[in-house]
């Protein structure tokens, strides 16, 4: 999966919040938030992410 490869490159997966935002701890210790717009399970979820 493309998103997993991107997360592995950035750092380590931490958690996914209630809005579907993926939280990643970077290799230098920073918290990074990623909106997964690659895997489009539903258009409703995508619209929710884009609106937040």
> Cα–Cα distance between 42 and 44 in angstroms, integer?
5
- Stretch 17-43: mean pLDDT: 83
pLDDT band per the 50, 70, 90 thresholds, residue 40: low
- pLDDT, tens digit (0-9, with 9 covering 90-100), for 3-29: 888 899 999 999 998 888 899 999 999
What pLDDT score was predicted for residue 43?
A: 59
pLDDT higher than 60, residue 1: yes
> Cα–Cα distance between 37 and 3 in angstroms, integer?
9
Q: DSSP string covering 31-46, please?
A: EEEEE--SS-S-HHHH
């Amino acid at each position: 999966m493309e998103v997993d490869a991107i997360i592995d490159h950035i750092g380590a997966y931490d958690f996914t919040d209630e809005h579907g935002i993926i939280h990643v701890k970077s290799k230098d210790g920073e918290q990074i938030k990623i909106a997964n717009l690659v895997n489009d399970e539903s258009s409703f979820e995508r619209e929710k992410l884009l609106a937040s």
